[in-house]
Chain A
Amino acid sequence: MSKPVTILEHGRAEKNYWRDLWHYRELFQVLAWRDISVRYKQTIIGVAWAVIRPVLTMIVFTVIFGKVAKLPTEGSAPYALMVFAGMLPWQFFATALSDASNSLVTNANLISKVYFPRMIVPSATVVVAFVDFAISFVILIGMMIWYQYIPGWQILSLPFFILIALLASLGPGLWITALNVKYRDFRYVIPFLVQFGLYISPVGFSSSVIPEKWRLLYSLNPMVGVIDGFRWCILGGDATVDLRSFGISIAVTALFLWIGIRQFRKMEKSFADLI
């Protein structure tokens, strides 16, 4: 039997990095499963938290943006439904980003005692965010039944947009979690960023209220493309998706993902010394 030979040296690039990552896929599953099963332990209403948060935010946004500010909805869709269709990917993005950013520091005991490809930790937290997303999605279905709203064929492309939302959160998530190991300042940056992003992304309002000339600049926020895409999938013909701005969002997502992975791999080796 030939044994795998490992050579450890300073600054040696891992040739089998991605294969190694695949080899540790079971650990990925186990860590994700751990985070999911621990998430709502010792809470009274448990999973209901995953329902209450988006529903309350949706109600507030519908009242403030829809009723008080009287912003237009997408086509003929009910305002509440439009808000919720934007809220879904945003909540997913926000939870995934903040959990991923803190993941390395919360798992410090693992990092300093066992070897495994470190990228598993932030990636596994994204799966946890996905579970909350799935719960919220059930509420969306309930709301669609309530409003007797039938989605078009566009809903079939939803998985694609979920994937984009996932990648959009993973890119900055990887970068920030790596920086967080070195400089704990980034722990304070994330809640701020998430709060800020909620208002500059078209969550409570339709992106059609943004003046045409600012539209492309606005699309630099990768969540604009994702949220527009979600609304297009769910509200069907009532929402429009601007392909140019969607392209920009995808490009920005890809750029962040590239930077995130690069920076993460660069800093990965020193995590155990710094954490």
Chain B
Amino acid sequence: MSDTVISVENLSKCYLVGHQDTQEQYQSFRDTLVRHGKNFGRKAIDMARGRQIIQGDTVEEFWALKDVSFEVKQGEALGIIGHNGAGKSTLLKLLSRITEPSKGRITLHGRVSSLLEVGTGFHPELTGRENIFLNGAILGMNKSEIRAKFDEIVAFAGVEKFLDTPVKRYSSGMYVRLAFAVAAHLESEILVVDEVLAVGDMDFQKKCLGKMNDITQTGRTVLFVSHNLQAVRKLCDSGIVLSSGQVTFHGEVEDSIAAYKECSQFTQRELKGDSKKPHMTKISVCEETLKKGSLKFTVHYKSPNEISTPLVGMVINDELGSPVIGHNTWMDETYEPMPGSEGKITLTADNLPLHSGVYYVSAFFGNQNENTHVERDFIELHIDGDPLPRGLSKSQIGSTELLGKWRCE
């Protein structure tokens, strides 16, 4: 038997989301009536067919996860990192059987306990003692297991004095401490943990981290989701980076964190220059920053001999090939070149004033005053901003956006 405990193949999860029509700005009572009538009709049909009811005027498929594949070995602690909405929680929900995959397959060897929230099922009217048994049973422990660990749980949470008080009278700190204590004493082969360490005060967080560390040391398989990169670094051996529902990186935990910090989704192209001269090896543009209306452009280079002043330039061209905007290292007085035979140079700009559309990026690389490597229209950029109002096109007002205000005087 191989020691693969979790194997995930082409896993996808699709949700249906509804959108409200925002096109019509002026709404009459009659429009509203018609719209509600239509909505009601659609809902009634959906219900008759046994389908899900979705609010809104139009329905769209949303793939929270798409073709995710990875394997986890026995005793491995895997960190899952990614931005909000990258699909981390969906992945954990699928792994812990709470919801069913739309496509793909998960194979699990062993009992899975999932901890997606502290204090799941805690009942405010019940006492601390009662809630330990309740929560334990919900998380999959049996009574004898809970009884055996009872004292340990109480001591860990530090709530001895309040065991017979209803938890609704607990302070929020006591509440989460008790909740985490129960969960931390789970004993299953695979443990799935979501963002639960962010509870309690500093001391307790440290204690939780320690406990989690003990768990990973005992050879159990742990899947851990967190935004706390320190915690991930401390607990996990390896990591995967999720972005927009896809795995963009899978490897050692340090490398994953680096990959996550850098940019988790980018358009990039490798290239082969003349290896006898200083040349670029990879050009990338971060998609996430692009969506926020700014630019992060990176050039990786190599040179047969050390170069003293690596220089980079870039120009963005429109569909017709006319240059729209550009920048180079000469234009930035704060740029400090570092001599070397290999490295990367990044341009960041907070504001990329371009109208929606397709653009092409050309890149120039050189040493001192000489361009040694030029790539024209090498990367395609898709800018998805708001469309121009009143049917205006870029051919009429140009590609760059003027951030101005008009005032009547």
Among A6, A38, A270, which residue has its beta carbon within 8 angstroms of that of B123? A38
Is there contact, CB below 8 Å, between B134 and A8?
A: no
Least Cβ distance of A165 to chain B in Å? 28
Contact of A182 among B15, B53, B93, B121 (CB under 8 A): B53
| Residue B199, interface by CB 8 Å | no
Q: Is B155 an interface residue (CB 8 A)?
A: no
Contact with A along B70-102 (1 / 0, CB 8 A): 000000000000000000000001111111111
Contacts of A116 in B (CB 8 A): 138, 140
A115 touches B108 (CB 8 A): no
Q: Are B94 and A37 in contact (CB under 8 A)?
A: no
Q: How large is the interface on B (under 10, 10 to 19, 20 to 34, 35 or more residues)?
A: 35 or more
Assess the B105–A7 pair: CB atoms within 8 A: yes
**A111 neighbours in B (Cβ, 8 Å):** 98
- A27 and B138 form a contact (CB under 8 A): yes
Chain A residues with CB below 8 A from B160, complex form: none
**A26 near B101: Cβ-Cβ < 8 Å:** no
The reply to whether A273 and B114 form a contact with Cβ atoms under 8 Å apart is no
Supposing A3-B189, A26-B137, A273-B15 touch, asked if A109 and B106 sit within 8 A by C-beta, the answer is: no
Residue A44 is within 8 A (CB to CB) of chain B in the complex: no
CA distance A182 to B108 in the complex (A): 29
Give the chain B neighbours of A269 by CB distance below 8 A. Answer: 99-100
Interface residues on A, range: 20 to 34
A15 at interface (Cβ–Cβ under 8 A)?
no
Report the separation of the CA atoms of residues A252 and B195 in the bound assembly, to the nearest whole angstrom: 49
Which listed residue, B95, B100, B117, B130, touches A37 by the CB 8 Å rule? B130
Please tell me if the beta carbons of A8 and B108 are within 8 angstroms of each other in the complex: yes
A114 near B126 with CB under 8 A, answer no
A42 interface residue, CB < 8 Å from B?
A: yes
What's the nearest-Cβ distance from chain A to residue B173, in Å? 21
Q: How far is the CA of A27 from the CA of B143 in the complex (A)?
A: 9
Q: Which of A20-77 contact B (CB under 8 A)?
A: 26-27, 29-31, 34, 37-38, 41-42
Which residue on chain A has the smallest CB distance to residue B112?
A6
Main secondary structure, interface of A, reads mixed
Is B109 in the interface zone, CB < 8 Å from A?
A: yes
Q: Is the Cβ of B107 less than 8 Å from the Cβ of A30?
A: no
B residues in contact with A5, CB < 8 Å: 107-109
- Set of chain B residues within 8 Å of A42, measured between Cβ atoms: 125
Given contacts A9-B101, A272-B98, contact A37 B138 (CB under 8 A): no
CB of B106 within 8 A of CB of A7, answer: yes
Known interface pairs A109-B121, A114-B121; A4-B107 also in contact (CB < 8 Å)? no
A273 surroundings in chain B (CB, below 8 A): 15, 99
The distance in angstroms between the C-alpha atoms of A111 and B111, with both chains bound, is 19
Q: Which residues of B contact A115 (CB under 8 A)?
A: 96-98, 112, 114
Answer whether residue B32 sits at the interface, using C-beta atoms and an 8 A cutoff: no
CA A115 – CA B108 in complex, angstroms? 14
A157 beta carbon closer than 8 Å to chain B: no
Contact of A6 among B104, B108, B142 (CB under 8 A): B108
- Is A4's CB under 8 angstroms from B125's CB? no
In the assembly, what is the distance between CA of A269 and CA of B110, in Å?
A: 21
Q: Is the CB of A8 within 8 A of B53?
A: no
**Contact call B137/A272, Cβ cutoff below 8 A:** no
Using CB atoms and an 8 Å cutoff, list the residues of chain A in contact with chain B. Answer: 3-11, 26-27, 29-31, 34, 37-38, 41-42, 109-116, 182-183, 269-270, 272-274
21 A-B pairs in the complex with CB atoms less than 8 angstroms apart: A3-B189, A4-B109, A6-B97, A7-B107, A8-B94, A8-B108, A26-B142, A30-B138, A34-B123, A38-B123, A38-B126, A109-B120, A110-B121, A110-B138, A111-B98, A112-B98, A113-B120, A114-B139, A116-B138, A269-B100, A273-B99
Chain B residues at the A interface, C-beta cutoff of 8 Å? 15, 47, 52-53, 93-112, 114, 116-117, 120-121, 123, 125-126, 130, 133-134, 137-140, 142-143, 189
Besides A27-B138, A114-B96, 7 new A-B residue pairs in contact (Cβ under 8 A), listed by A number? A4-B110, A5-B107, A29-B137, A30-B137, A114-B114, A270-B100, A272-B99
